């Protein structure tokens, strides 16, 4: 069993009947969705899913799970998502897939938000593990670029380009994404980035996770609470 499957089984164990479950995006999350679908079918459980992406919605529906509309409910019982980097303070960098705005909205509406990752994603300095995606209104590309390079400890900054086509990647909300390589990230970085006019959201998750589950090569899962 690989590390992603290990996490998937752990998430499926936590499923509660008649609950609303928020589901993230990514390969680790996909393993968890498949394990959840198995348990729902075997035990005839009733759950409603809130999805963070089109790809997740399609997978859930193909496995027979009920997906709610795009509007995030006032409160979600339990949510889980993967991450590009995590640390011992329950901070994470997410959004490599470009869905950080929807992911953060979902996280903010969740009573119990769990991030899952294998041990390769762990570091005390999460900036050393992953670039920080920053979603920006196209009108503010140049002004945001200037502020980022002038006011933050950024080692490199690039506009995310689409593969096999001309131009920038456009998010489902019509925005572009900067990928920033930070030297380090502190407790205020997330808020400071979002205070820049034109920045819609960023991929730093500072105070959202109630728990982080890390799968180890030894076959164990470590919980950070």
Binning the chain into helix, strand and coil, the percentages to the nearest 5 are 30, 30, 40
| Cβ atoms 180, 148 nearer than 8 A | yes
Which of 57, 84, 52, 95 minimizes the C-alpha distance to 201? 95
Q: Is residue 103 annotated as part of the catalytic site, yes or no?
A: yes
Pair 176, 204: CB distance under 8 Å? no
- Residue 119 and residue 104: Cα distance in Å, rounded? 23
Strands 76-81, 19-23: pairing is: parallel
Give the residue from 35, 192, 25 showing the smallest Cα distance to 96: 25
**Active site residue: 35, 103, 190, 201, which one?**
103
- Per-residue H/E/C for 176-215: EEEEEEECCCCCCHHHHHHCCCCEEEECEECCCCCEEEEE
Question: How crowded is the C-beta side of 115, counted as CA atoms within 13 Å?
Answer: 33
Q: What are the CA-CA distances from residue 98 to residues 105, 150, 224 (Å)?
A: 14, 24, 26
Which residues are annotated as catalytic?
A: 103
């Amino acid at each position: 069993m690989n590390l992603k499957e290990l996490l998937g089984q752990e998430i499926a164990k936590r499923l509660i009947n008649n609950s609303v479950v928020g589901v993230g995006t990514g390969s680790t999350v996909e393993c968890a969705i498949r394990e959840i679908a198995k348990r729902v079918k075997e035990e005839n459980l009733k759950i409603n899913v809130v999805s963070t992406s089109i790809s997740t919605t399609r997978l859930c529906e193909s496995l027979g799970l009920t997906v709610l509309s795009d509007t995030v409910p006032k409160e979600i019982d339990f949510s889980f998502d993967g991450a590009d980097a995590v640390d011992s303070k329950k901070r994470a960098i997410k959004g490599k897939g470009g869905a950080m705005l929807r992911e953060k909205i979902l996280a903010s509406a969740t009573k119990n938000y769990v991030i899952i990752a294998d041990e390769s994603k762990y570091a005390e300095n999460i900036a050393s593990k992953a670039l920080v995606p920053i979603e920006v209104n196209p009108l503010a590309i140049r002004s945001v670029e200037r502020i980022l390079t002038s006011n933050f400890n950024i080692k490199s900054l690039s506009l995310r380009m689409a593969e096999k086509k001309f131009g920038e990647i456009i998010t489902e909300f019509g925005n572009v994404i900067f990928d920033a390589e930070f030297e380090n990230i502190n407790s205020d970085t997330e808020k400071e980035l979002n205070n820049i006019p034109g920045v819609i959201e960023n991929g730093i998750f500072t105070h959202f996770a109630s728990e982080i589950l890390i799968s180890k090569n030894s076959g164990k899962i470590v919980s950070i609470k």
